[in-house]
Structure 1
Amino acid sequence: MGESDHKAAITHTTDVLQRLGVSAQAGNLANAAAVGITQLVWRNGPIEDAHAGERGRRNQLHDGVMFARNTWVYQQALDAVTSSDPYALLTLEDRLLDRHLVWPGTARTLKQFGYGVLGEIDKHTKKTINGLMGWRRRLTHEEFLTLAALNGLLGAEDHFGMPVWELRVQAAMTRLRGQDPTFTARLKSRYDLDFATWLDTAPPVVHTDLLEVERALLTAPYELGADALDWFAWNPVLTRDQQ
């Protein structure tokens, strides 16, 4: 991407981010950049291809594991973009490619979850981190954050780390407490489930400590564990509306 392309992308992304409530002035541009980096470096790569196919089933790489891992990667990316260390992105690379680190929220490692695509994961991660390092050298810090955030604007506008995520969690807590009759009606009309039957399928923590569920979803979802997150993944409880 040439300099003129960078400038055009930065201008466009700035406008879109502002409509989402994200800006340097609002203090959440680094968060959006971390979402974008998570998408670019990790989520939209060989690990997602593995997750979506037979290899993912063999490696037990289910939705809850991906939910936990993606939110943990976001935290590492946020550390990298808010660090004054010029080599922080290489530290991020090392963390992501550590084959022996047990993934938070699980009991397994990259070596186990990524078995069969480890070389592809290494290649993809190193290539994208190298590209990010180039951007960081050539751009101002705010320009770098804005361009990094661009990668989170395609399908990740309401993911963990973006302003809308808090609204999704607030909606989920209202529904889990049985205080959203529209949601209850939707369960019945669309999924043929009554509220009590649906809630019975929730992980134990939902029944014992909703405050902990809310805290973790807002700050570090992986702390709930991959099995609990598997219930939340693709669950209508986290949608923002009833459409």
Structure 2
Amino acid sequence: MHIPAYAYATIRAALPTVPTSRHTDGLDCCLCDEPFADRLPVPLGPTETSGLFGCRPCLKRLVARARRSRDAALAQDAERAQAESAAWARTLERHLAGLGSVRQAAEAVTRLAEDGALEPLRIAWLLVSLESAHAWVTEDAPEPPASADPDDTSLRDDEFRLTLEMISARAAVANRLAYHLINESMPAEPELCEEFECPEGCSGRHDSSHIDCGPDTIFEDLAQHGIVIEHEDPVPSYGQKSMTHGAAQETTVPDMAEQLVTVLEYFGIDADDPELLVSAAAVGLVADAWRDGPLEEIHAADGGPSDGEMFAQSVDLYRRARAAFIASREDGSEALLAFQTVASDVDLPWAGGSRFTLSTSGEPTDEFVQHLDDRVWYTSKVMREQGWRAGVLHRAASAAAKASAHFGMPGWPAAVASAMERLAALDRSDAPEALADLTAVEAALHEAPDQLGADALDWLCARGALGCS
């Protein structure tokens, strides 16, 4: 006779405490004390031939009782599991709603910190209250019951999303407060208002929102506090690529002046002509730091600037870069920050009467700003380590190789002459008014192409009169 496992406990409980010799000899059923007579005894152990024995009717009755008990217990367990599941679903829903609310609050704090509209003290209090809400909602996290679905990851996923948003909020607030303290400690500089084209009545304070200290400053600053950290020298050897500053990957040559002079001579640029050299360096800095790279994708996007706007802005930035290079000869490489500040300003309307700003293009600008900062930082680094002339030669050689016919380069007059020939042959009936007087147009192209306006430059670019690609 097969006895199911669920009946073992029931049968064991029915066994006599002190069995008789007839029980152990297999003569009487140990459950009902009736003799087996002609009935077959069922061994109950410990072996098939020794121990206690029971009759089939008794064992069937006990198995049936055990089955009823088991089924009742299963029903009770099912009801309890169902009740636990319903209660857990309600608890989980409330907790997930709490996590979601705090996550939305963290997103809002991040936006407010980055927008810069609220006072720093208010931003600080927002973070404090956000941290309190985060502590309350995470410390009260419920524990799922054993009956909960082990494959349900909603709680873990929402907690992870909240953690990410809290990291973003903390970083945004820390950045805002750090720059607030730095800006508050800096004196007013009204002499820079003209360079920055500040509105009337500017106090002379020009707050920074991004300062690039290079790869080594943190180690030097920590050393002043007695904390020395070993780190690799960020200056690679000749012919290697620098991977120590963001995306900047440019060749650092310990003594590259002679080689760069050779490059410039090859392209017909006299490296001993300081005016020409600085102009070429300005063109190279605009091309390397501003024009080439992430701006290409923004330019190609639907909301990006037109060819004429690109050309006008490049001319304006060329002037700023040239002024920065001239100032850096006396004031050091920090003078390049004047160019960097304007070139990386995503809210500044572009030159040529354009209303375009990078922030309204609908495209991400973080990579563009980082790219520009990296290139300016690299030029500053070359100037600091190898001298002003080396930094200027480096960017001038770049301009000679990639923008030899740009405004400010020796090849620009020839480009203007070619453009005027094409313009004279074109039907200008639909041209902007700025292109009506060819003599004035030629003079503007030679002296200040952006003064023609972005619309006029667009018209010229669209007809191939200017190389605006």
Q: TM-score, normalised by structure 2?
A: 0.42
- Return 211-220 or 73-82, whichever deviates more: 211-220
Alignment of 1:81-120 (within 5 A): 81-83=325-327, 84-86=330-332, 87-105=334-352, 106-113=354-361, 115-120=362-367
- Aligned CA RMSD, in angstroms, stands at 2.3
Counterpart mapping for 1:33-48 below 5 A: 33-48=281-296
In 2, Cα distance between equivalents of 1:152 and 1:31: 9
Paired letter, 1:33: A
Paired residues of 1:20 and 1:163 also in contact (CA < 8 A)? no
* Residues 1:154 and 1:235: Cα distance change in structure 2 (over 3 Å): farther
User: C-alpha distance in 1, partners of 2:293/2:313?
Assistant: 13
Within the alignment, does 1:76 sit opposite 2:354 as a pair? no
Gaps of at least 5 residues in structure 2 are 1-235, 240-251
Q: Given the alignment, which residue of 219, 222, 240 partners 2:450?
A: 222
Which residue matches 1:205?
434
Q: Residue 168 in 1 paired to residue 415 in 2?
A: yes
Q: What is the aligned residue count? A: 215
| Aligned partner of 2:306 among 43, 62, 68 | 62
Higher percent of residues as helix: 1
Structure 1 Cα separation of the partners of residues 325 and 255 of structure 2 = 22
* Distance in 2 of aligned mates of 1:2 and 1:227: 47
Shift of 1:17: 1.7
Distance 1:201 1:8, change over 3 A: farther
**CA displacement at 1:99 relative to structure 2:** 2.8
What code does the residue aligned with 1:156 have? Answer: A
Letter paired with 2:303: R
Amino acid at match of 1:76: R
Q: Which has the higher contact order (CA 8 A, sep 6+)?
A: 1
Gapped regions of structure 1 (runs ≥ 5)? 179-194
- Counterpart of 2:459 in structure 1 is 231
CA distance in 1, matches of 2:331, 2:435: 40
The answer (yes or no) to whether the contact 2:256–2:390 under 8 Å persists in 1 is: no
Contact 1:64 1:233 in 2 (8 A): yes
Change in 2 beyond 3 A, CA 1:145/1:98:
same
Write out per-residue CA displacement over residues 83-110 of structure 1, whole angstroms, 9 at most, x where no aligned residue: 1332111111111122332211112323
TM-score (normalizing by structure 1)? 0.78
Q: Distance in 1 between matches of 2:411 and 2:392?
A: 19
Following the alignment from structure 1 to structure 2, what is the Cα–Cα distance between the partners of residues 7 and 164?
Answer: 30
> CA 1:32–1:9 in 2, change beyond 3 Å: closer, same or farther?
same
- Assess if the C-alpha contact under 8 Å between 1:47 and 1:117 holds in 2: no
Once residues 345 and 335 of structure 2 are traced to their aligned partners in structure 1, the CA distance between those partners, rounded to angstroms, is 15
Q: Which stretches of structure 1, 4 residues or longer, exceed 4 Å deviation after superposition? A: none
* Of 158-167 and 211-220, the range deviating more from structure 2: 211-220
Shift of 1:164: 0.7
CA shift for structure 1 position 199:
3.4
